[in-house]
Structure 1
Amino acid sequence: MKNIFFCPEESNFYSNCLDNFVLRNCQKSECIVEFGSGDGSPVINSLLKNRFDGVIHGFELNTSAWKVANLTIDEYNLAQKYIIHNSCLFESSQPDAEYLVANPPYLPAPDQDICMPLLFGGIDGATVTNELLSLGYENVLLLVSSYSNPESTIHHARSNGYRVINFIVLPLKFGYYSSEPKVKNHIDKLRENKMAFYSGDYYFLAGVLFQKSKESKLDLSHELAQVMTSL
């Protein structure tokens, strides 16, 4: 369906980040909040591989994606573990949770009039990502794009008391949505202002675990910034 986000490589990467940075670390019945669940496939794939006994509350505005996700959730009998609300997290009563996770909209563009408006991440692509880091959750797993002003996200995270505890990076080729002329031309302009970083047809997508914990002094923010701006 054209009105549902589709990129298997990115979805698999997000699922792997969930496995490695969140679900394997859950020792009890934690609650997780997810922003922008899409068709639910990344979380569903992770739940089928992990012994997670908590609840994930997803929030998805796209009604078509929400319906598809719920069909799959029912098919795999995961309704007790994965509950997706057809509403906006920012406008909802937010559940208390140990983790906030998201593959947030990160397409930069002059405005929302693009192929899939729900993928619009603001003029620099980092707006929604940075808003999620303002909600106050102790642990936040986000996918961060190298062409979406990644340095601003790292600075914003630090100003909100977060450290980068872990990250993994995937080189990705510009795809269907990011290759739309309006989007790609805007990314080119951001690059001129050192707000977007890519090489040829490739950019970096990082799965980043931000944490507010005062127990750990580990902070990989500098290393993440170096990687994301190296293209």
Structure 2
Amino acid sequence: MKDIFFCPEESNFYSNCLENFALRNCKKSECIVEFGSGDGSPVINSLLRNRFDGVIHGFELNTSAWKAANSTIDEYNLSHKYIIHNSCLFESSQIEGEYLVANPPYIPAPDRDIYMPLLFGGIDGATVTNELLSLGYENVVLLISSFSNPKSTIEYAKAHGYCVNSFLVLPLRFGYYSSEAKVKKHIEELRKHKIAFSSDDYYFLAGVLFKKRQEESVVDLSNELAQVMTSLVN
């Protein structure tokens, strides 16, 4: 369905990041909050592969995706572990949780008139990502694109008391949404200004665990992440 985000490679990567950075670290009945659940498949696949005794509260504005997700949740009897709200996290009463997780909208464009407007990440692609880092959750797992001003996100995270605790990187070929002529042209302009980093065909997608700084001795991989995310250029 064209009105529901579909990219199996990206969804599988998001699922792996959820498992490595969140689910496997949860030792008790903890709560995870998810922004932008889509059709729910990444979380559902992760729950089916892992023992997790807590609850994941997802938020999804796309009603078609929300209905599809709930249908699959019911099919696998996961309604006690995965609850998706058909509303916006930013406009809802904040749910307390040990983790905030998201594959946020990161498509940069001059405006939201693109193939799927809900994927619009602002002029530089980092707007929604940075807003999520302002919510104050102790642990935040995000997917970050190298063509969506990754340097600004790393700096924004630092300014809000986060360090990069762990990250994984996946090279991705430009897909259906990022190859739209309007979007690709805009990314080219961002590349000229060293805001976007990619080759003509590929970009990097990083799954990142941001943790609030508890002590100065904590490992911070911010510089390493910045180096990787800005390394892909022609």
Bin the TM-score by the shorter chain. Answer: over 0.9
What secondary structure does 1:83 align onto?
strand
Residue 94 of structure 1 and its aligned partner are, at CA, apart by 1.3
Superposition pairs of residues 205-216 of structure 1, within 5 angstroms: 205-215=205-215
**Counterpart residue number, 2:50:** 50
Measure the CA separation in 2 of the matches of 1:48 and 1:147: 32
Residue 163 of structure 1 and its aligned partner are, at CA, apart by 0.2
**Counterpart residue number, 2:227:** 226
**Counterpart residue number, 2:151:** 151
Number of residue-to-residue matches in the alignment? 231
**Is 2:157 aligned against 1:172?**
no
Deviations 1:63-115 (A, max 9, x none): 00000000000000000000000000000011100000000000000000001
What secondary structure does 1:32 align onto?
strand
Residue 180 of structure 1 and its aligned partner are, at CA, apart by 0.2
Measure the CA separation in 2 of the matches of 1:109 and 1:199: 18
**Counterpart residue number, 1:8:** 8
Deviations 1:190-230 (A, max 9, x none): 00000000012000000000000414510000000000000
**Is 2:89 aligned against 1:107?**
no
% identical aligned pairs: 81
Could you say what the CA RMSD is over the residues aligned between the two structures, in angstroms? 0.6
Measure the CA separation in 1 of the matches of 2:20 and 2:33: 17
Superposition pairs of residues 56-205 of structure 1, within 5 angstroms: 56-205=56-205
Structure 1 runs (4+) greater than 2 angstroms displaced = none
AA partner of residue 122 (structure 2): G
Measure the CA separation in 1 of the matches of 2:167 and 2:157: 14
What secondary structure does 2:29 align onto?
coil
Measure the CA separation in 1 of the matches of 2:194 and 2:213: 31
AA partner of residue 43 (structure 2): V
AA partner of residue 24 (structure 1): R
Please report the TM-score for the alignment, with normalisation by the length of structure 2.
0.98
Measure the CA separation in 2 of the matches of 1:124 and 1:45: 31
Measure the CA separation in 2 of the matches of 1:21 and 1:91: 26
Please report the TM-score for the alignment, with normalisation by the length of structure 1.
0.99
Deviations 1:93-146 (A, max 9, x none): 111000000000000000000010000000000000000000000000000000
What secondary structure does 2:12 align onto?
helix
